[in-house]
Amino acid sequence: MLVLTFQIGPNRLALDIRRVREVVPRVELTRTAGGPSWLAGSFVCRGRVVPVVDMHRLLGAGECPPHLSSRIILVPMGDGLMGLLAAQVADIKEIAAPVGGGHSELGQAVVDDGAVLHLLDLARLLPDGVPLLRAPA
């Protein structure tokens, strides 16, 4: 299975590459008044407004650090896109397909290079009220 890896606090995470539309540099976001704390804001990408979730805040790891490796991962959401703000977004790699067990609130845990890598299940992770993500094509 091909995945995009990134870091949220002390956790190494991965997202199935079939769920990723594009990875873009971190840009200045427009904050949404009255939005939840995990909503970093939004930006315009190719003429569409894209809401951006700060994955660090969502997972209780503070605010996404302003590293050069911080990126916005664009994923399909309903008829549009949603951005996931994360740090150390840099690696696409092949991992063994997960087989049973090893689930946490972050998703299924797999062993990668002798360390734990959590394969994110966005539908489980995102708060209620966020539209379900489209299944990969």
Kindly state the greatest CA–CA separation across the chain: 43
- Which residue would you say has higher pLDDT here, 119 or 131? 119
Residue 134 pLDDT: 40
Query: Mind listing the pLDDT tens digit for each residue in 53-86?
Result: 999 999 889 989 888 889 999 999 888 899 999 9
Q: Could you give all domains of the chain from N- to C-terminal order, each with its CATH number?
A: 2-125 (2.40.50.180)
- Which residue would you say has higher pLDDT here, 30 or 127? 30
Buried b (16+ CB within 10 A) or exposed e, 13-41: bbbbeebbeebeebeebeeeeeeeebbbb
Judge contact between 117 and 110, C-beta under 8 A: yes
Whether pTM > 0.75 for this model: the answer is yes
Share of the chain above pLDDT 90, in %: 43
For the chain, what is the mean pLDDT?
84
Residue 13 predicted with pLDDT over 60: yes
* DSSP-H helix ranges across the chain: 55-58, 122-125
Cβ count near 133 (within 10 Å):
16
> Which one-letter amino acid corresponds to residue 2?
L
Residue 136 pLDDT: 41
